[in-house]
């Protein structure tokens, strides 16, 4: 990943080619994030390239760090501006990830092969923060299933098991991967502490604290 404005694509492409041989496979794909790199409107690149480690190190030090002055680590609340996947377990899935927005340049790769990957390889395009936002909106809309208005509650205002069940049901309807207990607990905590409208009510806070200290 390299965080640069898309207007600089010709500059980045030129550097990539200069550090490559005539047969090096290269993909440079544009992507825009809704959450990260907001100082450049979320614009960044994903790159798939057939380099050895020593070529990457030279490119990183000379181009990314010295010439483009990019950050390799998050600092002062600002996200890192470049990064590398050190081990690729599945080349096809890595290419699918790289070209998922279907806006890319390539070299020394077959276009039909890339089109096949784009059309047939499953890839979860929605990022985690987008999914969390969608889930929170769903829970807010269905809160009557697991929340009793505290002012009228004779027992606990929160049915935490029903909240967990709602999270699981939503996940099973919208995702193709299983969800673990830790993630369900995280979503429960996030909803109750950051989203639930009655979270500042005394009875509700007692319930939330009990969940934090003891779990479901």
Give tens-digit pLDDT for 8-22.
999 999 999 999 999
How many Å is the maximal CA-CA distance in the chain?
Answer: 75
43-49 sheet: strands from edge to edge: 43-49, 26-32, 104-107
**What 8-state DSSP symbol labels residue 34?**
S
Residue 104's pLDDT is 96
Bridge partners of 82, per DSSP, are 2
Q: The pTM is what?
A: 0.60
For residues 153-157, average pLDDT: 65
Pairwise CA distance, residues 156 & 201, whole Å: 12
175 has a pLDDT exceeding 60: yes
Check residues 204 and 12 and name the one with the higher pLDDT.
12
Q: Which two tokens stand for residue 140?
A: 């807010």
Read off the pLDDT of residues 69-124 as tens digits, 9 standing for 90 and up. 999 987 777 788 999 887 887 899 899 989 988 999 999 999 999 999 988 875 65
- pLDDT above 90: percentage of residues in the chain: 47
Length of the chain, in residues: 216
């Amino acid at each position: 990943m390299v965080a640069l404005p898309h207007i600089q694509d010709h500059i980045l492409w030129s550097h990539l080619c200069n550090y490559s041989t005539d047969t090096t496979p290269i993909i440079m794909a544009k992507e825009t994030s809704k959450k990260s790199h907001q100082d450049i409107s979320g614009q960044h690149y994903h790159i798939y390239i057939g380099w050895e480690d020593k070529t990457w190190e030279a490119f990183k030090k000379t181009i990314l760090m010295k010439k483009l002055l990019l950050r390799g680590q998050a600092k002062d609340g600002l996200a890192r501006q470049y990064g590398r996947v050190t081990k690729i377990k599945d080349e096809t899935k890595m290419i699918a990830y790289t070209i998922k927005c279907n806006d890319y340049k390539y070299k020394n790769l077959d276009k039909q092969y890339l089109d096949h990957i784009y059309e047939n390889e499953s890839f979860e395009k929605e990022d985690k923060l987008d999914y969390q936002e969608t889930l929170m909106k769903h829970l807010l809309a269905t809160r009557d299933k697991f929340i009793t208005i505290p002012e009228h509650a004779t027992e606990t205002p929160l049915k935490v098991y029903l909240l967990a069940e709602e999270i699981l049901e939503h996940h099973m309807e919208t995702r193709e991967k299983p969800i673990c207990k830790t993630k369900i607990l995280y979503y429960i905590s996030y909803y109750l502490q950051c989203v639930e409208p009655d979270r500042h009510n005394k009875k509700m806070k007692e319930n939330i604290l009990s969940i934090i200290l003891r779990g479901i």
